[in-house]
Chains A and B, each alone.
Chain A
């Protein structure tokens, strides 16, 4: 069974940093792209970025809305995906999801990690 479990969310002050983790199991982690998506309260999801699979060199792409502040990485020995978030703003308050991506659709999502940016 494919499982994704986010952790690391919480309350952070504006300008602060936070690192989210996503522990993956039930599939060959290195075969898949992995994406991060966030969803502000009451709004539609927003795709943040992707880290590609081994065959594509683990390269990354980001939404321009977070490029330069957010960094996606992966530990392929422990099957963990990371999202490093810096210079956080109030508008970054959201539920953050990791999702299994290409090849195939984003078919498995974690339960989400809540991030609140507030003083």
Chain B
């Protein structure tokens, strides 16, 4: 199975910061990497797919990038509504695997 090591587990950020969450894949996944945001009691919502493509309706302050097998989600000037838990998902090979999640709190 491909392991997705996500960090940090949690972070607290101000509205002026740039927030970066990373997921490192245990092997190459050919950019089959998605990012999701989940709010309490709700299903995960797609933010980024194919590592860098913005999903429909997602604000442009969200962006994705890759360096080697490390994938990053960046939130530029986050809003209070961006609080929640963020997960990465690799869909390169089965079983698809998720990162452990990053809990984001906005100060």
Contacts and interface: CB of A to CB of B under 8 A. Distances in A.
B is bound to A: yes
A44 B99 CA distance: 7
Interface string B12-48: 0000000000000000000000100000001111100
Nearest to B94: A61
Given A61-B94, A102-B91, 9 more contacts: A45-B98, A47-B96, A47-B98, A50-B96, A101-B91, A105-B46, A106-B89, A109-B44, A110-B43
Nearest to B6: A44
B49 A44 contact: no
Contacts of A57: none
Interface of A: 35, 44-47, 50, 61-65, 97, 101-102, 104-107, 109-112
Q: Ordered nearest first, which 7 A-B pairs have the shortest CB separation?
A: A105-B49, A47-B96, A109-B43, A63-B95, A61-B94, A107-B46, A105-B34
A101 to B, nearest CB: 8
A44 B46 contact: no
B87 A105 contact: no
A64 to B, nearest CB: 7
Chain B binding surface, main DSSP class: loop
Nearest to A4: B43
A110 B43 CA distance: 7
B95 to A, nearest CB: 4
B43 A105 contact: no
A20 B45 CA distance: 21
Interface in B73-105: 87, 89, 91, 94-101
